[in-house]
Structure 1
């Protein structure tokens, strides 16, 4: 299904992605929420599900709560009974990790590479509920699921933008509104990174936020260093064959900086290494502590029997797959790990990296080689794929 309304994917990528915001009216005609508000609140009672409550004016009777109080789940029914009548918001992160239908919703955003998609967050708010003017460091689509929310956008921000002192959440000290819209069910707003925005519920409402992975320079540097150290050579060292006489022998000049830069860049000239850095980093699990245990005793015979007896095969909701293709080598990435395979396994890899629902017949047909069988057995053992039966 096309979720960009009047825009084509080409127009969106060319004119808006990471460039400027765009409001798409009736982006998802007839959209039906995945679950009602009471079931969403029920998720916040679970220990393993990441949830937050944000109350703008604090909790009545709690002198220490102050403005913009943040509470982290899991919550109890008593927590909800103690909430004020208005100006509070419940946020449930990573809903796609727990509900297959939520994982399937993200399929509609695969016009962005799937390894860039992070998660689906659902926000339920009562009248006036909001989290203050703020900015995100990643792209986000805000799909209005129920009710109305008024969104305002403002200035571009950075790590130097001042925040209000005191609140437990990051609320911008300044918000220079440049535009605003009231979103109705099925409307969607796209926001590029670092754009200030502020959403206020008009009555009860639910908003679905589709966020994207955007590793920081620190994360990329660490992942790059980890990869480089595996194959780093003691023979490749800082060199200066173009050295000329300096006025001051203690000065580290711009030429020295350039030589250092070139030495480090030489370690990243291999596309395969760079793809591996991204593949491992971008497929890391969002909540690795909640992964089921590996079934070590499971064999290919067991896996094949499962495949032959099922009508539907799915990727687990927490699975993250990607691949790179260089020459006669395929590298398949899963949960921050990778396997190297021959190009004959490309059709199987493409199947696995496609949608959440996998074609059982195609998977069986493509599992004739030992490499294919080892891969599928590994995925079954780690419970990264499963049969609905």
Structure 2
């Protein structure tokens, strides 16, 4: 079984409830992966809309004072991305790296109608990092967050579709969205809209499934494949797009095929002199290959497939950030009275490995003596625990040694001792 440490409260409303105006069960059954959902600000528990996550002032801060570099900024105009050289350069003495965002160049482009796309806010803006971690835990999928800043009356991108689901969170200003049904339902990442540009353009000329102006605090859910375009209205617009990386049945197919390389029949060389362009020559080989693949698939082990899916999915959803200096100080000061908890958002599995146990994390596997298993489970259960209360170990010295190891591996974080 996989364990996921639940998101902490910190006084924040549940992340999913901030994005949808219906109960989670109804959202999952009626909308998830199927149909759009518009949620107005008045229907959501967000007294300040989404400005607590990222505001126009925050955007100015990031663009001007944080040493932002590509690819954390893209700039688009008239449906086309502009070359990074148009808005980047060296940052002066001690910061000569040539791909840094230059605020004066950004100003010129934005004033001329270009849309600014701040990418990867789930990695570089604290409030968005926390929100994304909570939402990812609720949905169970990897996520990314970008911000779109559009001048009055401008449209950054032509009608298109995304290969991932999105939540659109309108932060500031008003933006007119036109939504059309898919030309390709459930597109994979390898099936971008550019390969169907004519179909997309033709469909966009027809009646919209949803034609709406988003106001501050409104939210819109769009499943992958749904066509959309958006235009700022009388004032500038800022919205966040939360992209949800789709985990699909085709991912199962890909991992099954990777594992099928274990079957010698599927690794066999084609007969000497086979004309690969001749369907009649290929037909018997295809028949034999399909039969061998079918027989192999019937024997496929779910555990092997799950292990490969874990290696694919877990690194895409990092747990909550840690503070390296504070963590190192806590390791040095650790004793039996110290309290620790699982790192928020940490996915983990614990499995027997001979006379030891293997703790699988998102980026590594740690092996420990088998007698550590009860203590490891207690440490990673989610609630803060006092080191001296760990079960299954003979002494406080053993408990401190195990806890120190997991703190060094960034599986745990220190928590304050109650006063």
Q: Same fold (TM over 0.5)?
A: yes
- Report SS of the residue matched to 2:293: helix
Mapping of 1:202-213 within 5 angstroms? 202=233, 203-213=235-245
Distance 1:95 1:367 in 2: 40
Query: What does residue 39 of structure 2 align with?
Result: 24
1:281 to 295, 306, 312: 312
Q: Is residue 246 of structure 2 the alignment partner of residue 199 of structure 1? A: no
Distance verdict in 2 for CA 1:183–1:223, change over 3 Å: same
1:382 Cα deviation after fit: 5.4
Cα displacement (A) at 1:126: 1.5
Counterpart contact for 1:96–1:103, Cα < 8 Å = yes
- What secondary structure is seen at the aligned counterpart in 2 of 1:18? coil
Contact 2:161 2:228 in 1 (8 A): yes
CA distance in structure 1 between the partners assigned to 2:260 and 2:404 by the alignment: 30
Q: Distance in 2 between matches of 1:87 and 1:112?
A: 37
Q: When you count helix as a share of all residues, which structure comes out higher?
A: 2
Name the CA distance, whole Å, in 1 between partners of 2:199 and 2:57.
28
Aligned partners of 1:200 and 1:367: how far apart in 2?
A: 59
The 10-residue stretch of structure 1 (28-37 or 130-139) with the greater mean CA deviation from structure 2: 28-37
Asked if structure 2 preserves the Cα contact closer than 8 Å seen for 1:95 and 1:121, the reply is yes
**Count of residues in correspondence between the two structures:** 344
> Per-residue displacement from partner, 1:252-279 (whole Å, max 9, x unpaired)?
277534422224425632x322222122
C-alpha displacement of 1:8 = 0.8
Matches within 5 A, 1:58-137: 68-72=80-84, 74-85=100-111, 87-110=113-136, 112-114=138-140, 116-127=141-152, 128-137=154-163
Counterparts of 1:362 and 1:388 in 2: how far apart (Å)?
A: 10
Query: Of 299, 302, 306, which aligns to 2:332?
Result: 302
Partner of 1:59: none
Superposed CA deviations along residues 193-239 of structure 1, whole A, max 9, x for unmatched, are: 1111112122212111111122688876666666677xx4769988x
What is the Cα deviation at residue 147 of structure 1?
Answer: 1.5
TM-score between both structures, scaled by the size of structure 1: 0.69
Work out the CA distance in 2 between the residues paired with 1:306 and 1:91. 49
By how many angstroms is 1:21 displaced? 0.8
Contact kept, 8 Å, 1:54 with 1:70, in 2: the verdict is yes
Offset at residue 303 of structure 1 (A):
7.7
For residues 258 and 334 of structure 2, the distance between their equivalents in structure 1, rounded to whole angstroms, comes to: 36
Equivalent residue, structure 2, for 1:50:
72
Tell me the equivalent position of 2:22: 7
Q: Aligned-residue CA RMSD in angstroms?
A: 4.7
Specify the alignment match of 1:37 in structure 2.
56
Partner of 1:178: 209
- Is the contact made by 2:31 and 2:37 (CA closer than 8 Å) also made in structure 1? yes
1:140 maps to what in 2? 166
**Structure 2: 5+ residue stretches without partners:** 1-12, 89-99, 185-190, 269-279
* Alpha-carbon distance between aligned partners in 1 of 2:74 and 2:124, rounded to the nearest angstrom: 17
CA-to-aligned-CA distance 1:11-63 (integer Å, 9 cap, x gap): 0100110011111112343224234324324434423762211122xxxxxxx
**How far off its partner does 1:301 sit?**
5.5
CA gap of 1:157–1:249, structure 2 versus 1, over 3 A, is: closer
Cα distance between partner residues in 1 of 2:173 and 2:23: 27
The structure-2 alpha-carbon separation of the partners of 1:139 and 1:161, relative to structure 1 and needing over 3 Å to count, comes to closer
Q: Shift of the alpha carbon at 1:83?
A: 1.6
